């Protein structure tokens, strides 16, 4: 299956009543496990390169890694830039072979966010790829607080930017290690009432699985970003592998032992939001 765009997987999700997982990658080991899990569940997957990943591995390298995995996969794979903060960074991702650009202007005044997101959406669409924008800042566990998305601002943002997906702030936070948060369903319904664009939840790890499933099957939320809970699964598996034999130093023999646990954790994430 060749690489696909974000719209290629989210539009069927919108009409079919399910959601697709945007899985935040850190390196080769987890992105390979994510694709293996998607193949096992027979669902599409969105591989996401966020700021932390990009600080470790250059965008052109990530683009080649994503494309290599997609070309050998039996399911659709999206190569997605997560939280691009500048036009130039988004342009670099496009040139590196990404098929989806997420521009995050959520900290900026509304009109500036609209104008900058619209320019990136125009660039993406001219190249035949997708664009995700964010309206309403999504904060961080133990850090900056979220600013809830105003439905009327969301309608204006969606209409004037022509984004293919819209990330919203509805009680979600990034980097939450437990699932004690809950999304504000009334706010979600208010946004749905004035927009038709597929909605995205960043910080999906903090959302209870039952609520993820219910919203995947019964709302316009078509994409849940999942990072923290899979990083935790990788970290636990890595720690166990290292501690199993303190004298072992070959990184490849250690890292290979993270594969099956991460695949298993990812399959649980994917199965909770897939269609019938």
Q: Tell me the catalytic residues.
A: 82
What does the alpha-carbon distance between residue 132 and residue 136 come to, in Å, rounded to a whole number? 13
How many helices (H) and strands (E) are present in the chain, helices listed first?
12, 9
Say which residue the tokens 């900058």 belong to.
Answer: 116
b/e 53-62 (16+ beta carbons within 10 angstroms → b): bbeeeebeeb
Nearest-CA neighbor of 98 among 132, 133, 130, 71? 130
> Exposed (0-12), middle (13-18) or buried (19+): which is 100, by Cβ within 10 Å?
buried
């Amino acid at each position: 299956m060749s690489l696909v765009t974000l719209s290629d997987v989210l539009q069927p999700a919108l009409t079919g009543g399910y959601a697709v997982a945007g899985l935040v990658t850190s390196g080769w080991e987890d992105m390979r496990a994510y694709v293996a899990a998607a193949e096992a569940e027979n669902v599409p997957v969105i591989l996401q390169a966020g700021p932390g990943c990009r600080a470790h591995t250059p965008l052109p390298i990530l683009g080649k890694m994503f494309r290599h995995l997609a070309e050998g996969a039996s399911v659709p794979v999206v190569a997605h830039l997560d939280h691009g903060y500048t036009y130039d960074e988004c342009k670099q991702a496009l040139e590196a072979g990404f098929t989806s650009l997420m521009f995050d202007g959520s900290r900026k005044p509304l009109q500036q966010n609209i104008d900058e997101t619209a320019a990136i959406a125009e660039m993406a669409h001219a190249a035949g790829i997708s664009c995700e924008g964010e309206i309403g800042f999504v904060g961080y566990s133990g850090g900056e607080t979220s600013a809830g998305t105003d439905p009327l601002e969301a309608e204006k943002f969606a209409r004037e930017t022509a984004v293919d997906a819209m990330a919203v702030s509805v009680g979600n936070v990034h980097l939450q290690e437990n699932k004690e948060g809950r999304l504000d369903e009334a706010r979600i319904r208010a946004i749905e009432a004035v927009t038709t664009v597929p909605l995205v939840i960043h910080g999906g790890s903090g959302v209870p699985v039952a609520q993820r499933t219910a919203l995947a099957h019964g709302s316009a939320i078509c994409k849940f970003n999942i990072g923290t809970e899979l990083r935790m699964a990788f970290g636990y598996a890595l720690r166990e592998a290292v501690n199993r034999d303190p004298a072992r130093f070959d990184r490849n023999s250690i890292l290979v032992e993270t594969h099956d646990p991460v695949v298993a954790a990812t399959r649980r994430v994917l199965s909770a939001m897939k269609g019938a």
